[in-house]
Structure 1
């Protein structure tokens, strides 16, 4: 009887499917599970409470009222465990109460959190997250725009006065990273405006659960009592842009290219790009037309003279790689000698590890990694670190030495220039073969040097980027940390991928053209900003100024944009072309009966917005791509995957090959001998079968003599397809028109999209 009931539910389309393995594979983000957090009921002493006007009990009562007013949720103290903490936010009398209410049952969890100013009672943060096992859809039920309306309605109700003073800021939709599966929440930022001008980082922030359609969190960052005026005269946007253009320089650089279809950890591809080097801290005084803190950010440079470089080159001892890798005994000899030379006697060897350096990041061969330590006098703990030895060259490729807080009491008696010489000598000694492949110029500013004596961490840091064809490749290079007290080498780090491929710098567009491209997408943005006038970071002197910074319609600033040095195309920080297709796609789907679902699929990166045509028939490759995107396009999972056994005509270097491999990994395709025609069309029956398998209902679909379909074209459905078609019809994966399922018809983009959306809607998440 139980199985018959399930089958009738399927066919009547009211089944609720819970598939935890599918959810796990999709990588859907979990809500916070308070079962993993220890509960504390008393976290504040009576003496601490004397610092604030609001007692703990009053804060708890107020938090319950806020939860009721904001989220219409009643807190019964008999049912919830409570955590209370009094937080000092870094300034005198700036305390807040953090009150958390938590409840767990066998199949549900609730976590509610409120942060309140402990003197004024102002709400700083509030959240309400609850989950019932098996009741959360695997995809949003509302669009981003619908969520925005809910966020606005919420703010109008709970904080109308401040909300009136804000402006919604849409975040960039141009992802730099890969496709990671489905996201079911939306975040909204409403920036504070004073006199119609944005004020610093003040604003209201709201998160909406896209499945429940409810506000789940609220944050307020709002400085009270601010009264600002607009100067009678200040720079226009055009005047500000002219200054930025004049003061900015364009640099030619290599960057690692990782597009959304190729995000392996150690990519070997690069792009040659133009980047803008913005002046100082990029804040332009809108009144005076000068860059803020220009003197504070005054650069100090140091490089080798020709004579110094010649002398160092004459002493370089470049080691020819050995025919055989060194053993553990030899690695220990080198490590002990290096440690003694740098840090003295008394250090003991700890863990010894041998690394197979498959990705050749830290040199060209495998390496020995060795820990070392010694007990500090006076029972103050242990001092030590780690050293890594290249197994073929015997060079030190990485070195780390602990830096103790006690060092803050020591004076900085080594100058920056002296530390530079020590760092250069270290590179010449430990990486002689790379010495002439780095940029030896070091740049700092006077403020950093002046403030070093006041900092706990008294170390100078030198970054020497790799140079290729005379062009910087900043992602590779050598970093050296030198102590300002004794000139001790605290860290030596080599990041160097010899497998990288670099294009020759020929037939490039002009620098000025690249600058025009960058400024065409990025305009100066006017805002109020708090500026520290003091050169002493320990004694800040704040002043609010009207300033210009650079911003653009993509949500990037110019430091995140690049220009392809060959094509002039605008790129993001990962070297991807800036995709403007989403706007075209949104216009294309207006009026589509599935506009809402198509919008949600696009926002999650599941649908191919560039090639979408509602009534176009899909290919097997189209189908595979959407299914893999729904699970999460993660090529890093393929690191040790075997080659495909079937013939597809797709090169192993092609993006489509990775999609086919991931389809095998996720169980969508079988890796068996045969042919797979990626251009072949997909029938509605084939689509139904694959999507039902995707849900994990293969066995149910193959059950004999339990399914029937009341459609006029049932005779066109093969017996081995009947169960799949019945389940697909019941769940709305396939829609019936004119009492027909049309199993032999080729599926369209519209039909595939709504099918995948409803599959995801029927995959229920746990916590």
Structure 2
């Protein structure tokens, strides 16, 4: 049996199609604000601008100093997303910024060849990241030709290059061409640039780093009014930071425009545990409509939206553990909930948010002479078998060559193995070659996806021959045949979305898109759909199906108990209508590009949490959150465990609690003196490196075959063991026995053996079997793993007591906390990474 694990956890999100995917140096391709800062974990040299905390308030040596009231500082740490009390926010006039003391003569290679206005843009970045003086400026141009969408087409785009030995890295910065304020730049991913890394314990804590973040704002964005800036911790992931690995902190600040909220107008930054700035990103665009352009009042907007607002019962996904979703029958607004343009009075909606209720839904009969889908009688053991299935249904042009075939965990369902294929256009050259992709379920032979990815848009007839244009009715017929042959029970689980004739739009290339919605018990399944795109010559060039498994929907209510109008009133009572700026566009559809624009709109927001989305339970009528707080979101929000305060290991236990390593029970206790099992110690160690595993029931990626017969998929230690096995934390004897016996009480000797695996000193342990420190112990004869015990003692991870080691003795959770903190403090002091 194959299991799937990976070194990173992914957040499921929709994102626009980029014309230049894969360019890691292209900063305009970063995801939306919540993830815009989430990938960088290393540090940079900026000690002259942001000093060591012992110097942070010394204005004679520090580049940036701060003066503020500590009460307001504490308020900022707990600032809610949209505070009703403006006095709760830190005032930027309390921030004192001084001139830099870095050597202004230090400039990057290529600087002298730039024009004065280009140099001015480079200087703006160097003010925040003086370490970039070590690099080379490759070019400075207005606008970017390497990304889509270019959200800053009139700004300076600076490309840097850093070379060390035979390797080089390139990365971008963007600077406003009018104000010469930095829009975005980062250095954290160029590890060779960094003179130091911050590990636990950090020199700068999160509170001190926040102070520096405010100072950076004052220096980097002087054009923004001080009263328009609000610190907003809700815009940053609340996952706990790993205890192991470089320490860094993320901060987000909302920036009002013309006194109004602008969800996309954020400034985010990352600062490491040494107080060094790693990344700075400023969202939003410059063309904000004037408030004077508002053509309708709030009252008119409310009446217009609510009068056309309708609610429909659907089976909706509720975020659960990891990437798992539960489903519930609930009412959601399907008309009247989208933002209303305050200038034009038009309701806005994104193409992927188009609602089923606005279109006619049609059932369809099995097409004649088309065989329904039949699952493969046995798993597809090789790629050729999967390829044969694809070739029976689709045609890849001859000038596309198969360049990849691989068996992987499915990105959309990590429990499912899929055969993945890529074909590239051999008639093209350069970095961005058109390609076909396909995914086939390895267990059933079901094609999950087939389609063309073309960077210049969807293709026309490639043969150049005149063809008869496909009618919409014929396209629907071909699409029905396709889903019937590729999806199980398609005629019962799908309905054809049949738009009015005026809405039957072709793409700019004449392609027709036919959409299907998944239904269950006569209700739509939110997120369940299929799409077929057909060329004018009748060739199918895109097929995708995202069908929710029937077992996810079994046992749910078959009928709503609450009326739609009652659901509407409950929903409206929890909402308020706000005038604000939003960003629209920046994506491609089959009809062409939708340019980026900022619009002034009226939009419904939840009163208690504007970032939350609410539905109405169709059975009880109660409002509930689509994104309930999971354990990872609660880790740092509660008070510390009640039985930790005053404990001898309080400091260590609180550190582990803060970093998501230990949790509390229903009585809010952590049980620090409880004896530790082998599985619990393994779990604590693993969470120290990967705290997100605590709530990740699905970790996509690598295939791992676990050799242990007593670790089933439903075990609470399943992913813990998988991660530890992947990094070789188990010895060969454990693998041979095929049992880990995770529930057994952990002994001190077993802890030493596991710790040696974590620090990768296996060979050294063999060499230290006759270590004098161990041989001098009164109970050395009872110790089998003398080398491992010697290393644990020498590293200060374990200690002897009254001249004895007590190898069979047990450990408590508090003991484990001390060990893990001692291990964390070794980071940066060993010749290899710990882990």
Smaller-chain TM-score bracket: 0.5 to 0.7
Is contact 1:368-1:390 (8 Å) kept?
no
| Inter-CA distance 124–594: structure 2 relative to 1 (3 Å threshold) | farther
Q: Which has the higher contact order (CA 8 A, sep 6+)?
A: 1
Offset of residue 440 of structure 1: 1.5
For residues 357 and 730 of structure 1, the distance between their equivalents in structure 2, rounded to whole angstroms, comes to 43
The alignment partner of 1:583 has SS state of coil
| Inter-CA distance 629–438: structure 2 relative to 1 (3 Å threshold) | same
Offset of residue 102 of structure 1: 4.3
| Inter-CA distance 374–168: structure 2 relative to 1 (3 Å threshold) | closer
- Residue 95 of structure 1 pairs with residue 154 of structure 2: yes
* Corresponding position of 1:166: 229
- Map 1:2-401 to 2 at 5 A: 56-59=114-117, 61-62=119-120, 65-67=123-125, 69-71=127-129, 73=131, 75=133, 80-88=135-143, 95-105=154-164, 114-129=173-188, 131=191, 136=197, 141=202, 143-159=205-221, 162=224, 164=226, 165-171=228-234, 184-194=247-257, 197-210=260-273, 212-221=274-283, 228=291, 247=309, 249=311, 251-253=313-315, 255=317, 259-260=321-322, 271-274=326-329, 277-280=332-335, 282-284=337-339, 292-293=347-348, 301-304=359-362, 309=364, 312=366, 317-318=371-372, 400=451
* Corresponding position of 2:813: 749
Offset of residue 623 of structure 1: 0.9
Is contact 2:317-2:526 (8 Å) kept?
yes
Is contact 1:370-1:388 (8 Å) kept?
no
* Corresponding position of 2:490: 435
* Corresponding position of 1:423: 479
For residues 699 and 521 of structure 1, the distance between their equivalents in structure 2, rounded to whole angstroms, comes to 66
Is contact 2:583-2:599 (8 Å) kept?
yes
* Corresponding position of 1:656: 717
| Inter-CA distance 216–522: structure 2 relative to 1 (3 Å threshold) | farther
Name the one with the larger helix percent: 1
Is contact 1:349-1:370 (8 Å) kept?
no
For residues 419 and 213 of structure 1, the distance between their equivalents in structure 2, rounded to whole angstroms, comes to 60
Offset of residue 613 of structure 1: 3.7
- Residue 584 of structure 1 pairs with residue 635 of structure 2: no
- Tell me the alpha carbon deviations over residues 589-631 of structure 1, each in whole angstroms, 9 at most, x when there is no partner: 6787877766665565433355634444433222111222334
- Tell me the alpha carbon deviations over residues 198-224 of structure 1, each in whole angstroms, 9 at most, x when there is no partner: 2342232211124x3311222334666
| Inter-CA distance 351–518: structure 2 relative to 1 (3 Å threshold) | farther
Offset of residue 251 of structure 1: 3.3
For residues 391 and 721 of structure 1, the distance between their equivalents in structure 2, rounded to whole angstroms, comes to 44
- Map 1:341-740 to 2 at 5 A: 400=451, 419-428=475-484, 430-431=485-486, 434-442=489-497, 456=508, 458-473=510-525, 477-483=529-535, 485=536, 488-494=539-545, 502-506=553-557, 510=561, 523-524=575-576, 526-529=578-581, 545=600, 547-550=602-605, 556-558=611-613, 580=634, 582-586=636-640, 588=642, 601=656, 605-610=660-665, 612-632=670-690, 633=693, 636=700, 639-645=703-709, 652-669=713-730, 670-673=734-737, 677-682=741-746, 686-701=750-765, 703-704=768-769, 706-708=771-773, 715=778, 727-728=791-792, 731=795, 733-734=797-798
CA RMSD of aligned residues (A): 6.5
For residues 419 and 283 of structure 2, the distance between their equivalents in structure 1, rounded to whole angstroms, comes to 49
The alignment partner of 1:440 has SS state of strand
Offset of residue 481 of structure 1: 0.9
The alignment partner of 1:584 has SS state of coil
For residues 573 and 681 of structure 2, the distance between their equivalents in structure 1, rounded to whole angstroms, comes to 35
2:824 aligned residue (730, 747, 760): 760
For residues 800 and 166 of structure 2, the distance between their equivalents in structure 1, rounded to whole angstroms, comes to 36
Is contact 1:482-1:490 (8 Å) kept?
yes
For residues 118 and 632 of structure 2, the distance between their equivalents in structure 1, rounded to whole angstroms, comes to 48
Is contact 1:275-1:563 (8 Å) kept?
yes
The alignment partner of 1:762 has SS state of coil
| Inter-CA distance 119–67: structure 2 relative to 1 (3 Å threshold) | closer
Is contact 2:42-2:272 (8 Å) kept?
no
| Inter-CA distance 339–406: structure 2 relative to 1 (3 Å threshold) | closer
Offset of residue 528 of structure 1: 1.7
| Inter-CA distance 477–738: structure 2 relative to 1 (3 Å threshold) | same
The alignment partner of 2:533 has SS state of strand
Offset of residue 491 of structure 1: 2.3
Structure index of larger Rg: 1
For residues 327 and 572 of structure 2, the distance between their equivalents in structure 1, rounded to whole angstroms, comes to 20
Is contact 2:580-2:601 (8 Å) kept?
yes
For residues 630 and 746 of structure 2, the distance between their equivalents in structure 1, rounded to whole angstroms, comes to 31
| Inter-CA distance 335–121: structure 2 relative to 1 (3 Å threshold) | closer
| Inter-CA distance 220–206: structure 2 relative to 1 (3 Å threshold) | same
Offset of residue 660 of structure 1: 3.5
Offset of residue 100 of structure 1: 4.5
Is contact 1:684-1:742 (8 Å) kept?
yes
Offset of residue 479 of structure 1: 2.1
* Corresponding position of 1:20: none
- Tell me the alpha carbon deviations over residues 717-740 of structure 1, each in whole angstroms, 9 at most, x when there is no partner: 766677656654665545899999
Task: Kindly tell me the number of residue pairs found equivalent between the two proteins.
Answer: 689
Offset of residue 166 of structure 1: 0.9
| Inter-CA distance 283–433: structure 2 relative to 1 (3 Å threshold) | closer
Is contact 2:331-2:567 (8 Å) kept?
yes
For residues 351 and 223 of structure 1, the distance between their equivalents in structure 2, rounded to whole angstroms, comes to 41
In structure 1, list runs of 5 or more residues that go unmatched.
1-23, 34-39, 44-53, 264-268, 377-381
TM-score, L = length of structure 1 = 0.66
TM-score, L = length of structure 2 = 0.62
Is contact 2:449-2:544 (8 Å) kept?
yes
- Tell me the alpha carbon deviations over residues 133-182 of structure 1, each in whole angstroms, 9 at most, x when there is no partner: 99535657255444323312322344356272211121367779999986
For residues 494 and 295 of structure 1, the distance between their equivalents in structure 2, rounded to whole angstroms, comes to 20
For residues 354 and 147 of structure 1, the distance between their equivalents in structure 2, rounded to whole angstroms, comes to 46
For residues 329 and 117 of structure 1, the distance between their equivalents in structure 2, rounded to whole angstroms, comes to 52
For residues 183 and 109 of structure 1, the distance between their equivalents in structure 2, rounded to whole angstroms, comes to 22
Is contact 1:389-1:397 (8 Å) kept?
yes
